[in-house]
Chain A
Amino acid sequence: MLDRAPLLKVADLQAWYGESHVLHGVDIEINEGETVTLLGRNGAGKTTTLRSIIGIVRKRTGTISLRGTDLLKLSPHRVATQGIGYVPEERGIFATLTVEENLMLPPQVAEGGMPVDEIYRLFPNLLERKTSPGTKLSGGEQQMLAMARILRTGARLILLDEPTEGLAPVIVQRIGEIIQTLKTTGFTVLLVEQNFRFASKLADRHYVMEDGKVVDHFTSGELDQKVDSLHKYLGV
């Protein structure tokens, strides 16, 4: 399965916040069209890994390459234009922008993004509330908005950081359906999740992080053998 050149290759990634050394060697490979999760306890370094890939965390060593392009060399605003969409932890909806302005904010990075009317058909609430301030939406609606604005850009690799955090079960289910749709339409998704039940239904493969390192890796098929060690890793 990993014999093709991966779409995204992260190797021996180390990262720092100022003097504090947070990632100590992260190795992840994702093939085109795969959905892969990054699991791990609070503080394991999942968010930092995504922030290092998209270029928000600047102090990094190792390899991050997308289709062979070295992302470490790019200035921060050039990473997204390689075709990556980032849906941050806590959603990152802008309070001083309307729903519509939030939706239209990220520039297009490739052809083939989802047209706005299709987005509004998929998320009718966003159309209804399009002139209200972004943060006046409910948590679930904000998460939809954070995902919708990335679908617009034409990015084919999506980094999703805990999209279900703090949301009601119906919304979680809805987000699951959206990710499933992304998967069937050929998007590549790197999904950070604490909710392992949710992740296991969607993803092809899983990486487990602990203390800033990837410590385990398995496919969804291998899940049953892994349940015990997973409980240990995730502390559940």
Chain B
Amino acid sequence: MLELLGISPIQLYGQLVLGLINGSFYALLSLGLAVIFGMLNVINFAHGALYMLGAFVAFFALDLLGLNYWAALVIVPLVLALVGVVIERTMLRRLYQLDHLYGLLLTFGIALMLEGVFRHYYGSSGIPYAPPPELVGPLNLGFMILPIYRGWVIAASLVLCLFTWYIIERTRLGALLRAATENPSLVQAFGINVPLMLTLTYAGGVALAGFAGVLAAPIYQVNPAMGSNLIIVVFAVVVVGGMGSIMGAIVTGYALGILEGLTKVFYPPASAIVIFVVMAVVLLVRPAGLFGREA
């Protein structure tokens, strides 16, 4: 069948894996965006720039402090969480009473500034970041050979996505988050410090973006433009999945990554736009998104 279409299985599997890798980043980032939007009502346009910042912090940690990849995986999310706390406490917090648009404009401004600063010092070519030696080499899956690092990225993002889903959907902390998303003033009236939860939510979402940035560095290099290249697709993913849904963000992230990969195999010219076509169709047919609750 595939042969009839002139497509080799190797090519198909290769694009599937690439799609899964891209999907891993779509899922990690759209998950953070969905959680932040749910709690803070802020469309965090800075998400891509913070992902880029995560990759740069990993590069600085290695370059200046000699901290390796594994250390970066732990430290970068913590540093980015701190950046998130500062952004939320000093700026975002002042905008909650206003229209969505103000949060979007503020975070868009933050994104432009971050990207501008890094572009000024590092230009627009990428800085290579070597994968850790433990993850270099081929992984033989029987039907195909996969670079170990790529397998690791897929596995790590899957685990992190499911872990985040578990926290939100199955723990007490998650119940507090969901309740505060629905009715913050009532949750507050029960004695919960909701402003603190908002800060931690933003910090958590940003930490996820930072983690994704470290994962991405060995694949895409460390590049000031890496965030803005990704964020538009990620917004499309969030629109398709539906703003309110955690599992929706995860599933849609991987699914659209794979769809994009398959499009590259079957009709390459459409691969750059297929996600946006899906987005347009979903907006027309189900404006709340595939997994979103109808308002």
Q: Which residues between 202 and 240 of chain B lie within 8 Å of chain A, taking CB atoms?
A: none
Do B182 and A96 touch across chains, with their CB atoms under 8 A apart?
Answer: yes
A77 near B: Cβ within 8 Å? Answer: yes
Q: Which of A92, A96, A101, A107 contacts B191 (CB 8 A)?
A: A107
Do A97 and B186 touch across chains, with their CB atoms under 8 A apart?
Answer: no
Q: Which of B178, B181, B189 contacts A56 (CB 8 A)?
A: B189
- Closest A residue to B192 by CB, please name it: A77
Place the interface of chain B in its size category. 10 to 19
Chain A contact surface mostly: loop
Shortest Cβ distance from A45 into chain B, in angstroms? Answer: 18
Do B192 and A97 touch across chains, with their CB atoms under 8 A apart?
Answer: no
Chain A contacts for B181, CB-based, 8 A:
96
- Closest B residue to A81 by CB, please name it: B191
A80 near B: Cβ within 8 Å? Answer: yes
B190 near A: Cβ within 8 Å? Answer: yes
Cα distance A81–B188 in the bound complex, in angstroms: 11
Shortest Cβ distance from A17 into chain B, in angstroms? Answer: 12
Do B182 and A95 touch across chains, with their CB atoms under 8 A apart?
Answer: yes
Do B178 and A86 touch across chains, with their CB atoms under 8 A apart?
Answer: no
- Closest B residue to A78 by CB, please name it: B191
Contact with B along A80-121 (1 / 0, CB 8 A): 110000101000101111000100111101000000000000
Cα distance A66–B160 in the bound complex, in angstroms: 46
Cα distance A153–B190 in the bound complex, in angstroms: 9
A176 near B: Cβ within 8 Å? Answer: no
- Closest B residue to A100 by CB, please name it: B175
B140 near A: Cβ within 8 Å? Answer: no
A79 near B: Cβ within 8 Å? Answer: yes
Q: Which of A77, A95, A101 contacts B193 (CB 8 A)?
A: A77
Chain B contacts for A76, CB-based, 8 A:
185, 188-189, 194
Do B192 and A107 touch across chains, with their CB atoms under 8 A apart?
Answer: yes
Most buried by B among A76, A80, A97, A153: A76
Do A94 and B179 touch across chains, with their CB atoms under 8 A apart?
Answer: yes
Chain B contact surface mostly: helix
Do A97 and B178 touch across chains, with their CB atoms under 8 A apart?
Answer: yes
Q: Which residues between 149 and 196 of chain B lie within 8 Å of chain A, taking CB atoms?
A: 172, 175-176, 178-179, 181-183, 185-194
Chain B contacts for A92, CB-based, 8 A:
183, 186
- Closest A residue to B177 by CB, please name it: A96
Most buried by B among A55, A96, A104: A96
Chain B contacts for A86, CB-based, 8 A:
186, 189-190
Cα distance A182–B187 in the bound complex, in angstroms: 23
Q: Which of B175, B182, B189 contacts A80 (CB 8 A)?
A: B189
Do B183 and A80 touch across chains, with their CB atoms under 8 A apart?
Answer: no
Which residues of B line the A interface, CB within 8 A? Answer: 172, 175-176, 178-179, 181-183, 185-194
Write 20 A-B pairs (CB below 8 A) sorted by A numbering.
A55-B189, A56-B185, A56-B186, A56-B189, A76-B185, A76-B188, A76-B189, A77-B188, A77-B192, A77-B193, A77-B194, A86-B190, A88-B186, A94-B179, A96-B179, A96-B181, A97-B175, A101-B175, A104-B175, A107-B192
Known: A56-B189, A92-B183. 10 other contacts (CB 8 A): A56-B185, A76-B185, A77-B188, A77-B194, A80-B190, A94-B179, A96-B179, A96-B181, A97-B178, A101-B172
Closest 8 CB pairs of A and B: A80-B191, A106-B190, A101-B175, A96-B178, A76-B188, A77-B193, A54-B189, A94-B179
